[in-house]
A = this chain, B = another copy of it.
Amino acid sequence: MKNFCVILFHDFETLDVFGPVEVMGKLNQHYRIEFYSEHGGLVTSSQNVKVQTLPITELNGLNELDVLLIPGGIGTRSEVNNQAFIQILKQISNRAQFVLTVCTGAALLARTGLLKNRKATTNKMAFDWVANLDQEVQWIRKARWVADGKYYTSSGVSAGIDMTLGFIGDIIGMEAAERISTGIEYIWNKDRNDDPFC
């Protein structure tokens, strides 16, 4: 059983998290989904969803760290300046087999320095803010999502669903991704370069 570890913080964006979680949840024979935050306990999204989490330090106890999901949201505006949190994020991102970000989750990952010289994207409305956090990242404005090695970054909110299906397509196969999108009656935009919001 692999782990799919979702990192939450106060004022995360609801669908950034639960679109990918819905999709990955269909692989529950392969992945166990758990939620973490800096201090554990209840963490509240911008849409007033209170989610129970484990302390992020518990990730240090895992031998294998398979997939990390870092969502965006208005909370990233303060978390980019939370050096303790960014430091832990860097450690666990280094250990993870794959790191996925949605929307301004890319801002947090950029702050770790791990995106330097890699291709990445983020959402439209906050693009310039995120891109200025690290100008050594090859920021791509027109993309539904971007994969560069183990790092998957997506555009805003709903693009995280398309990216996660694309991720499953890459690591398991297109048939599995298609079956999941049909099962949840989701009209999958499967072309990562087809970005109608650019």
A185 touches B (CB below 8 Å): yes
Min Cβ gap A7→B in Å is 14
Kindly identify which residue among B15, B33, B124, B155 contacts A48, using a CB–CB cutoff of 8 Å.
Answer: B33
CA distance A15 to B186 in the complex (A): 11
Residues of A whose CB lies within 8 Å of any CB of B are 13-15, 17-19, 21-22, 24-25, 28, 32-35, 42, 46-52, 123-125, 155-159, 161, 182-187, 189, 196-197
Q: Which residues of B contact A159 (CB under 8 A)?
A: 185
Q: How far is the CA of A125 from the CA of B157 in the complex (A)?
A: 27
- Interface residue from B14, B33, B35 paired with A18 (Cβ < 8 Å): B14
Contact B25 A19 (CB under 8 A): no
Is A184 touching B25 in the complex (CB atoms < 8 A)?
no
Query: Shortest Cβ distance from A168 into chain B, in angstroms?
Result: 14
Contact residue among B19, B35, B156, B187 (Cβ-Cβ distance under 8 Å from A49): B35
11 A-B residue pairings within 8 Å (CB atoms): A13-B22, A18-B19, A21-B47, A22-B47, A25-B48, A33-B47, A33-B49, A35-B50, A50-B52, A156-B185, A157-B184
Task: Give every chain B residue within 8 A of A52 (Cβ-Cβ).
Answer: 42, 50-52
- B-side contacts of A156, CB under 8 Å: 183-185
- Cα distance A21–B196 when bound, in Å? 23
